[in-house]
Amino acid sequence: MGVGADVGAAGAAGAGAGHLVPRGLPREDNREWGGPQPVGSAFPPATLRSGTGRGPRPPALPPLRKGVRTVLDDRLTEQRNPRSAGLDSLEPLAFVRLLSEENREAVEAVARVEEAVARGIELAEAALRAGGRLIWVGAGTSGRLGVLDAAEMPPTFGTPPHWVQGVIAGGHEALVRAREGAEDEPAAGAAEMDGLAVGEADLVVGIATSGTTPFVHGALGRARSLGARTGFLLCTPPPPELVERHDVVIAPLTGPEVVTGSTRMKAGTATKLVLNAISTGAMVRMGKVWGNLMVDLQVTCRKLEDRALRILRTALEVEDDGARALLEAAGGEVRTALVMGRLGMGADEARRRLEAAGGGGCGGAPGVPAARRWGCRRRRGGRVTVVSGPGPAPVPGTDRAPVPGIAPGRPRRIAGLMSGTSLDGLDVAIVTFRRIAGDPAHPPHPGQVQHQVEAFRTHSWPDAMRDRIREATLRGTPATLCHLHGELGEAMARGLLETLEEVGLAPGALDAVASHGQTIWHSPPGPGRRGATMQLGCPATLAERTGTDVIADFRSRDMAAGGHGAPLVPWADHLLLHREGRSRALQNLGGMGNVTWLPADGERRQVRAFDTGPGVALLDECVRRATDGAESFDAEGRRAFRGQVDRTLLARLLEHPFLRRLPPRSTGREAFGPEFVDAVVDRVSPRTEADWNRLVATLTAFTIETVARSCRDHLPLSRTHEFVLTGGGARNPALVAGLRAALDPLPVCVGAESLGVDPDAREAVAFAALGWAHLEGWPAGLPRVTGARRACVLGHRTPGGARP
C-alpha cells in the first residue's frame, strides 16, 4: 500500500466507529458515524408495558393510519419514533420505562463517538494552555446547556470565569424564556464573536442538534475567519462540507425523539454528556484535580467548606481539627493546604512549590502509603507541622532525600550522552553547572545558573553498529535487543572514556553521567492507549566501566505521569538558552524534528515545545537505498537540489494524521522511519538516479513543510524574533534554504550563529542539565509541553564506584 492510500485508510479507520473524521477526508455514507440507520431498521416497535394511573385522561386523538409516514424531515432529530407512536396512551410507569430505554440510546451514541470527544478535550486543553478560551455557542436548549456548563467551571475547578464561556442566541433573556426566532440570525452569531474578541488561541464549539441553526453557523464562520479553531456538536449525520470545515465534528446519533422534534430529550442528554466530558476532561488535563479530588474548588459556602475539609481528611488522613487548621492557614486554598500537609511547609513556600511544578498536581508532594498516619498540630504563625512515620531525612528546606555521596550546593560536572534517531553516533558533552542565585530547593530560572561546556565530541557509530540499531527498530527480538542493550552500553562507555582522556579528566572528576540512550521505540499515549518508550545502552555497564554514577531512562517517569516523555530538552533550553527581551524558536533537525519556543520574558509557563515530524531520518533512509548503503545522508543537500519535487506525492504525504495532532505531541521512527520510506518507494518505484533525486527532493520538501506548518499553526511567530536551527539537519543547505523561504520574513539562522555554541551539542548539554536536576532533586520536564500531570524528578540512578 502506498503512503497516500495508507493515510486514507487511517482516516477511514478513525471515522468508522462514529469517531473523528479528519479534515479533508471524505465520508462514504452516514453509516461511518456508527449511529442509527433509517427509522424502519434501527427503531423496531417496542413492547410497552402498561402501568397503573389515576385521574381522568385527556381525550385521545384519532389513531394513526396503518402505513403512516414516519419521516417528516431529512434531519434525524425531526423524524418520528415508531417506538413512541402510542405515547399518548401510556400509563406513567410505561412512559418512564420507555423514556429510560430511549435515554440509553443517548449514552450509547456518545460512547460511539468517544474518539471525537477525546479530540475535543485535546483541542480545549490546547486552547487553554495557549491562553485562549473554550467557547460554547448555541440556541435554545443547546445554548442553555452550553451556558450551564460554563457556569459550573469556576466553583468546581477554581477557573477564571473567562476560561469557559457560553453564548446563547437571544442573550440572557433566552436563558429563562424561549426566544426561538433569535436562532435564525447568522449575523447575530458573528457579532457575538466580534464582541468576545475571538482570536487564534480560542476554541469555539457550535452546538446545534439539527446541525442547521443559522446563529451557530454564523458564529463559527466568523470565528474561523478570526483564526480560531472550531468544532461542531450535532445529533444528525453531518454533511461532508461540515466535516471538512471544522477541526472536530462530534455526532452522537441519538435517533428520533420520544416526542417528535423535542431535542431537549435524548439529543439534549447526549449534548450534556459531551459538554461535561470535554470541559471536565480539559480541566483534568490542566491539573485541576489531584487523583479524582477537586482540589481547586472555591470555598464560597458551608457545603463547599465541608467538601474541602473532607478532601483534606481523606488525602492527609488527619482529624477534623488538623484539616481545618491547614485550610485556614492556606487561606481556603485546598491545593495549597494539601502541599503544606504533605511536605510540612508554610503557605508561602507551598505556593512557590506549586508554581515551580507548573500549577498542577500538588507540587511534587508524594502519595501517602495506606499504612502511614499523619497528625497535625498548629505552630505559632499559623504554620502546620506534619508528623509522619519514619523515613529518610530530607535535605533541609526540601522534600527530597539527599543523593548519597553528593554534597548539595557545590558545582556539578556532568557528562551528557546523546544518541539520536538520526543514528549518526554518540554525542558526549562535559558540562559544569553552578547555581548562582535562587532557592536551591527549587529548580532555577534563567539567569540563576552558570554553565561551561568543557568538551564536546561526536563518536560516529561504525556502519555495523548503525545497521544493527536500524534492524532492531524494525525486527528486534528479545534476544537481539538484550545483546544490543549491553553492546551499546560498552560503546557509550568507550566514547565517554576517550573524551575524558582527550581533555585530561579522570572519570572520578565527574559527579555523574546522564545518558539518554539510543531510542529503539517511542509510541506516545493516545485515547485508550498507554504510551511506551525504550532506550538501549545499559546504564549498569556504563557505571561499571567508568566507576561513575549513571542517570538514565529519563522519559519513562514523564510517561508514567501521563506525559509523552518527549520533548524533554525544552526544560534545559529554557534554563540555558533564554535571551532576555528576545523570544526565539529553537528547531532541532535530528532524526526527528522538534521545536522549542522561548518567551522573551523567560516565563516558564509560556514555553511551548513539540515534535514537528521528521527531521533527517527520511532523507537518510532514502539516500541509503538510492546508493545501496554507499552514502548515509544527503551531503550538502546535493540530491535535493538536483531533483524536482513531486507535488502530487507531496500533497498526499501532507495528509499524514500526525500533522493534524495538537500539542502535546511526539513521534519517532515508528511513524517516520523505514516503513514510511517503504510505502513511498512502493508508490513511486524509483529506478534511475533522477528518480531517486526526485524522491529525495520531495521528502526534503515534506520535512520543510512539516516544520513550517507546525510552527505556523502552534507558535506565536508574529512575536518571535529569531528562528534557530540545530542538529544534523542544520548542515543541510537544502533544508536551511527551504525553511528560510517557508518562514520568511522571520530570520532563520543556524545555531552557532545565534546560540554561540555548536548546534550539534545542544541535546547532549540538555541531558547533562537534566542529570544535574536529578542530583539536586528538582522536578524537570515541562508538563505543558509533554502533557504530564505534573513535573517529576526524571531518570533512574545507577551507582558507580566509590568516589575519590
Task: Could you please state the CATH topology (level 3) that the domain comprising 302-387 is classified under.
Answer: Helicase, Ruva Protein; domain 3 (1.10.8)
Q: Which residues pair with 432 in a beta bridge?
A: 413, 452
pLDDT at residue 117 greater than cutoff 90: yes
Report percent pLDDT > 90 for the chain.
44
Task: Could you please state the CATH topology (level 3) that the domain comprising 111-285 is classified under.
Answer: Rossmann fold (3.40.50)
Q: Which of 307-311, 314-318, 334-338, 740-744 has the highest mean pLDDT?
A: 740-744
Residue range 756-770: average pLDDT?
Answer: 87
pLDDT at residue 396 greater than cutoff 80: no
Residue range 179-199: average pLDDT?
Answer: 87
Q: How many CB atoms lie within 10 A of CB 9?
A: 11
Between strands 375-378 and 384-387, the pairing is antiparallel
- Angle, alpha carbons 583-588-591 (nearest 5°): 165
Spatial strand order in the sheet of 608-614: 608-614, 592-598, 584-589, 722-726, 748-750
pLDDT higher at 252 or 76 = 252
- Span 71-111, pLDDT tens digits: 434 555 556 666 666 666 667 877 777 777 777 888 888 88
pLDDT band, residue 124 (cuts 50/70/90): very high
Q: Which residue has the cell 478570526?
A: 226
pLDDT at residue 383 greater than cutoff 60: no
The DSSP call for residue 535 is E
**Least confident residue range of 510-514, 575-579, 731-735:** 575-579
**Which SS3 state, helix, strand or coil, does residue 70 take?**
coil
Cis before 160? omega within 30 = no
Dihedral angle, C-alpha 107, 108, 110, 112, nearest 10 °: 170
CA atoms within 13 A on the CB side of 769: 28
Radius of gyration for the chain, computed over Cα atoms and rounded to the nearest angstrom: 30
pLDDT at residue 230 greater than cutoff 60: yes
Residue range 280-291: average pLDDT?
Answer: 84
Percentage helix, strand, coil, to 5, in the chain?
Answer: 45, 15, 40
Q: What is the pLDDT of residue 656?
A: 95
Q: What are phi and psi of 386, to 5 degrees?
A: -100, 125
Handedness of CA 757, 763, 765, 766 (dihedral sign): positive
Q: How many CB atoms lie within 10 A of CB 694?
A: 21
Between strands 425-435 and 449-460, the pairing is antiparallel
pLDDT at residue 426 greater than cutoff 90: yes
Handedness of CA 12, 16, 20, 21 (dihedral sign): positive
| Secondary structure (H, E, C), 546-596 | HCCCEEECHHHHHHHCCCCCCCCHHHHHHHHHCECCECEEEEEECCEEEEE
Residue range 212-224: average pLDDT?
Answer: 94
pLDDT higher at 490 or 306 = 490
pLDDT at residue 370 greater than cutoff 70: no
Q: Which residues pair with 596 in a beta bridge?
A: 586, 609
Report percent pLDDT > 70 for the chain.
79
Could you tell me the residue ranges of all domains in the chain? 111-285, 302-387, 412-565+762-798, 573-756
Q: What is the pLDDT of residue 6?
A: 33
pLDDT band, residue 482 (cuts 50/70/90): very high
pLDDT higher at 123 or 13 = 123
- Give the architecture-level CATH label for domain 573-756: 2-Layer Sandwich (3.30)
- Span 530-562, pLDDT tens digits: 888 899 999 999 999 999 999 999 999 999 988
pLDDT higher at 96 or 782 = 782
CA–CA distance, 757 with 754 (Å, rounded to integer):
8
Q: What is the pLDDT of residue 80?
A: 64
Helices (H), 372-531: 463-475, 478-502
Which amino acid appears at position 516 of this protein? H
Q: Which residues contact 706 (CB under 8 A, 6 or more apart)?
A: 593, 612, 613, 614, 654, 659
pLDDT band, residue 258 (cuts 50/70/90): low
Q: Do 412-565+762-798 and 111-285 fall under one CATH topology? A: no
- Span 1-53, pLDDT tens digits: 333 333 333 333 333 333 333 333 222 232 222 333 333 323 333 322 223 33
**Structural contact between residues 340 and 351, judged by C-beta atoms closer than 8 angstroms:** no
Residue range 51-62: average pLDDT?
Answer: 38
pLDDT at residue 257 greater than cutoff 60: yes
CA atoms within 13 A on the CB side of 681: 18
Joined together, the cell numbers standing for residue 685 give 518505484
Determine the CATH number of domain 412-565+762-798.
3.30.420.40
Q: What is the pLDDT of residue 85?
A: 60
pLDDT at residue 397 greater than cutoff 70: no
**Least confident residue range of 35-49, 287-301, 587-601, 776-790:** 35-49
Between strands 550-552 and 796-798, the pairing is antiparallel
Catalytic residue list: 152, 183
Residue 405, sorted as left (phi over 0), alpha (psi -120 to 50) or beta, turns out to be: left
Q: What is the pLDDT of residue 74?
A: 55
Dihedral angle, C-alpha 547, 548, 553, 554, nearest 10 °: -170
pLDDT band, residue 312 (cuts 50/70/90): confident
Looking at every residue in the chain, the average pLDDT score rounds to: 79
Joined together, the cell numbers standing for residue 311 give 478532601
**Least confident residue range of 190-204, 386-400, 695-709, 745-759:** 386-400
**Least confident residue range of 256-270, 320-334, 578-592:** 256-270
- Span 135-150, pLDDT tens digits: 999 998 889 999 999 9
Residue 317 CA: distances (Å) to CA of 2, 57, 312, 398: 59, 58, 7, 22
Q: Which residue has the cell 473567562?
A: 162
Q: What is the pLDDT of residue 31?
A: 27
CA–CA distance, 494 with 227 (Å, rounded to integer):
53
Q: What are phi and psi of 377, to 5 degrees?
A: -145, 145
Residue range 379-399: average pLDDT?
Answer: 30
Max Cα separation, the chain? 102
Identify which of 256, 377, 276, 270 has the alpha carbon closest to the alpha carbon of residue 323. 377
CA atoms within 13 A on the CB side of 404: 10
Residue 8 CA: distances (Å) to CA of 1, 2, 530, 755, 800: 11, 10, 25, 41, 51
Q: Which residues pair with 588 in a beta bridge?
A: 594, 726
DSSP 154-211: HHHH---TTSEEEEETT-THHHHS--GGGGG-HHHHHHHHHHTT--TT-EEEEE-TTS
Dihedral angle, C-alpha 106, 109, 110, 112, nearest 10 °: 160
The length of the chain is 804
**Structural contact between residues 665 and 672, judged by C-beta atoms closer than 8 angstroms:** no
Residue range 687-700: average pLDDT?
Answer: 97
pLDDT at residue 720 greater than cutoff 70: yes
